[in-house]
């Protein structure tokens, strides 16, 4: 059955597999010192226009968030994030496992509002009991957000400026970075982003790789002994080629961006299919689309295609998530069109 469940239920982009085959017989150094990791670093330095960037490859997103956050702040500090942030909801407390509180700000359609941030930091620093409260030591954003929305350049710029004013780092979780950058609504590019935060990661797992995330400290500002911190988090890969090879492939000939662009195009087609059928699709310009379905519609649709139940809207309606990837085909789109026909609203009937 055609699946739009997630961007991690398919294999690797064929170019990645090809590269595995091509390199398999070659011996290499390990623990991040292999030649493909080095090559991938060079390519990412060019793609980000950060010639001095310090770059590390980890296996997955939760691991990367916990490791980088733990490396950026002192043990007694916390990180600011919106309530819907992945680290606050869906990472099983991996940040807290290392002793750090997640300090929450309201979510505005998945995004942090710079004014909320400014207010929080000002209040903290003038609060008479501040010494008894967790120090807000950094800011965590996701781009694109968990709801598929994208920040505008001026929004990130404002947040970054506030961080600099309070001398705390800004870290951007880019698990789906490519899809955000390829969104029509995105008004900046990768080099711009790399120069408007202290650290970020380029998600591989959800953008065509089998696994792997590339952490970038844009200005070469890796925390002291970051290698050891990675190891302490259980995040160091002995055969680091397993991620190095993949990122070397992803950053050859703009593959990373082509994969993302393809998925976004398919997502917009998918969106159109639903809106054409008279259904409400929440605002998202990336590869995740959130469709409001009656529970009856949902159950019928489930018999034809696979997708994810996101959350209940009310007693009789549910928000459902449809996700595209490098592997989404025209055939999948036709299957979707046929499936949606089964729930399409006739003019005179009331579902």
Site for a copy of itself in 78-107 (CB under 8 A): 78, 89-94, 96-102
> Does 303 sit near a copy of itself (CB under 8 A)?
no
> Residue 319 CB, nearest distance to a copy of itself (Å)?
12
Instruction: Please report, for residues 42, 80, 151, the alpha-carbon distance to residue 48 in angstroms, rounded to integers and kept in the order given.
Output: 10, 25, 18
Cβ distance to a copy of itself smaller for residue 241 or 266: 241
> Residue 231 CB, nearest distance to a copy of itself (Å)?
4
> Residue 55 CB, nearest distance to a copy of itself (Å)?
17
Contacts with a copy of itself, 3-22, as mask; x by CB under 8 A: x--x-xxxxx-x--x--xx-
Contacts with a copy of itself, 128-157, as mask; x by CB under 8 A: xx-xxxxx----------------------
> Does 27 sit near a copy of itself (CB under 8 A)?
yes
Per-residue buried b or exposed e for 35-47, using 16+ beta carbons within 10 Å of the residue's own CB: bbbbbbbebbbeb
Cβ distance to a copy of itself smaller for residue 75 or 350: 75
Nearest one of 83, 277, 9, 303 to 292, comparing CA atoms = 277
- Which backbone phi and psi does 313 adopt, to 5 degrees? -95, -50
First to last CA, the chain: 25
Q: Is 318 strand, coil or helix? A: strand
Beta-sheet strands, E only, within 54-189: 54-58, 77-82, 102-105, 135-142, 170-173
Residues 205-234 within binding reach of a copy of itself (CB under 8 A) = 205-206, 210-211, 224-225, 227-229, 231-234
Nearest one of 16, 11, 10 to 245, comparing CA atoms = 16
Binding a copy of itself by CB under 8 A: which of 60, 161, 166, 265?
Answer: 60
Binding a copy of itself by CB under 8 A: which of 67, 183, 261, 285?
Answer: 67
Output the six-digit token pair for 34.
Answer: 């292999």
């Amino acid at each position: 059955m055609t699946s739009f469940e997630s961007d991690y239920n398919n294999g690797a982009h064929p170019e990645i597999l090809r590269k595995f085959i091509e390199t398999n017989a070659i011996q290499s150094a390990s623990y991040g010192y292999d030649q493909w990791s080095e090559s991938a670093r060079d390519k990412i330095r060019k793609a980000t226009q950060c010639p001095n960037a310090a770059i590390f490859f980890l296996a997955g997103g939760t691991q990367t968030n916990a490791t980088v956050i733990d490396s950026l702040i002192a043990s007694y500090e916390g990180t600011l994030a919106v309530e819907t942030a992945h680290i606050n909801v869906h990472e099983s407390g991996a940040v807290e496992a290392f002793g750090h509180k997640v300090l929450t700000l309201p979510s505005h359609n998945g995004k942090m509002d710079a004014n909320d941030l400014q207010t929080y930091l000002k209040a903290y620093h003038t609060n008479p009991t501040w010494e008894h409260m967790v120090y807000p030591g950094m800011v965590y954003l996701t781009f694109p957000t968990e709801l598929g929305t994208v920040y505008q350049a001026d929004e990130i710029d404002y947040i970054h400026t506030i961080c600099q004013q309070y001398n705390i780092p800004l870290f951007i979780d880019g698990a789906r970075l490519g899809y955000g950058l390829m969104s029509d609504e995105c008004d900046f590019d990768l080099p711009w982003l790399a120069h408007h935060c202290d650290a970020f990661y380029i998600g591989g797992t959800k953008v065509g790789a089998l696994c792997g995330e590339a952490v970038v400290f844009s200005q070469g500002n890796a925390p002291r002994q970051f290698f050891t911190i990675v190891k302490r988090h259980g995040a160091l890969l002995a055969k680091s080629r397993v991620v190095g090879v993949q990122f070397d492939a992803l950053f050859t000939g703009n593959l990373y961006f082509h994969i993302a662009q393809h998925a976004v195009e398919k997502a917009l087609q998918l969106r159109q299919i639903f809106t054409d059928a008279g259904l409400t699709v929440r605002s998202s310009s990336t590869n995740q689309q959130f469709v409001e379905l009656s529970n009856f519609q949902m159950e019928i649709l489930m018999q034809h295609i696979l997708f994810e139940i996101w959350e209940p809207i009310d007693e009789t309606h549910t928000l459902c998530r449809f996700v595209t990837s490098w592997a989404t085909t025209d055939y999948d789109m036709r299957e979707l069109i046929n499936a949606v026909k089964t729930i399409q609203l006739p003019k005179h009937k009331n579902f």
